[in-house]
């Protein structure tokens, strides 16, 4: 269908800004992540997590890569003033084997979260982002008309195929999950949470975090 006029635009108001970038993944980072100690909860089938919850602090090369992107995302893309400082609060590695997945969840006690993919293969499990089902977006959620095309403007779920070196950043409140891995090769990734440190507000509503 032809647009009614030549000049028009759609602005995605009040969106959840998802940042996706591709960076280099070195053998030294791959080796460091693979050598971490992992544990498994077979009842959840969510794959294996590292025992360490501060993986980025243990692998400085990886932390530099993550914070390069997180700094750009928060201070340039989102325009948060640079007098506020990002603070790494938690990071952990995951190892997904064939059949592993991750249930739908969000991250509490955090402002921005992300994942960087260390070692991937085809069909190793896409990451999926979800609208919580109660938040109206392009339409009242009680009405769900059939769509002939899914776009970022009308979707309630959005999936991304992981690649080595891909980093994905998002507000920690955004619900996400990981599809079942159909790959015969282990997939390694590192997830992380960040907080914002500084003095907020003024006068009677001032607080330092």
H runs (alpha helix) in the chain:
27-34, 55-58, 60-71
pLDDT at 159 (0 to 100): 97
Phi, psi of 102, rounded to the nearest 5 degrees: -135, 130
Consecutive 10-residue runs of the chain (209 residues): their mean pLDDT? Answer: 91 93 97 96 80 98 98 98 97 96 95 98 97 82 90 93 98 96 97 96 90
Output the six-digit token pair for 46. 């969510």
pLDDT at 46 (0 to 100): 83
pLDDT at 174 (0 to 100): 96
Q: Which CATH architecture has domain 19-199?
A: Sandwich (2.60)
Output the six-digit token pair for 18. 């998802």
pLDDT at 42 (0 to 100): 67
pLDDT at 138 (0 to 100): 87
Q: Where are the domains of the chain?
A: 19-199
Among 101, 100, 74, 69, smallest CA distance to 85 is for 74
CB 192 within 8 A of CB 113: yes
Phi, psi of 32, rounded to the nearest 5 degrees: -65, -40
Calculate the dihedral angle through the C-alpha atoms of 40, 125, 178, 69, rounding to the nearest 10 degrees. 100
Question: Residue 39 in 3-state DSSP?
Answer: strand
């Amino acid at each position: 269908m032809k647009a009614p006029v030549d000049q028009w635009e759609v602005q995605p108001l009040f969106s959840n800004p998802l940042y996706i970038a591709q960076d280099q993944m070195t053998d030294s980072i791959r080796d460091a992540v693979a050598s971490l100690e992992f544990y498994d909860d077979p009842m959840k089938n969510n794959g294996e997590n590292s025992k360490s919850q501060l993986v980025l602090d243990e692998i400085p090369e990886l932390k530099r890569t993550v914070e390069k992107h997180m700094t750009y995302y928060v201070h340039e893309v989102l325009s948060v003033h640079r007098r506020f400082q990002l603070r790494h609060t938690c990071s952990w590695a995951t190892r997904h084997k064939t059949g592993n997945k991750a249930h739908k969840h969000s991250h509490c006690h955090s402002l921005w979260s992300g994942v960087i993919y260390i070692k991937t293969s085809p069909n190793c499990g896409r990451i999926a982002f979800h609208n919580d089902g109660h938040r109206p977006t392009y339409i009242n959620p009680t009405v769900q008309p059939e769509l002939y095309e899914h776009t970022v403007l009308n979707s309630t779920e959005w999936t991304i195929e992981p690649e080595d070196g891909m980093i994905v950043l998002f507000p920690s409140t955004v619900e996400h999950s990981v599809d079942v891995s159909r790959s015969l090769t282990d997939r390694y990734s590192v997830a992380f949470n960040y907080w914002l440190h500084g003095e907020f507000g003024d006068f009677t509503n001032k607080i330092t975090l």
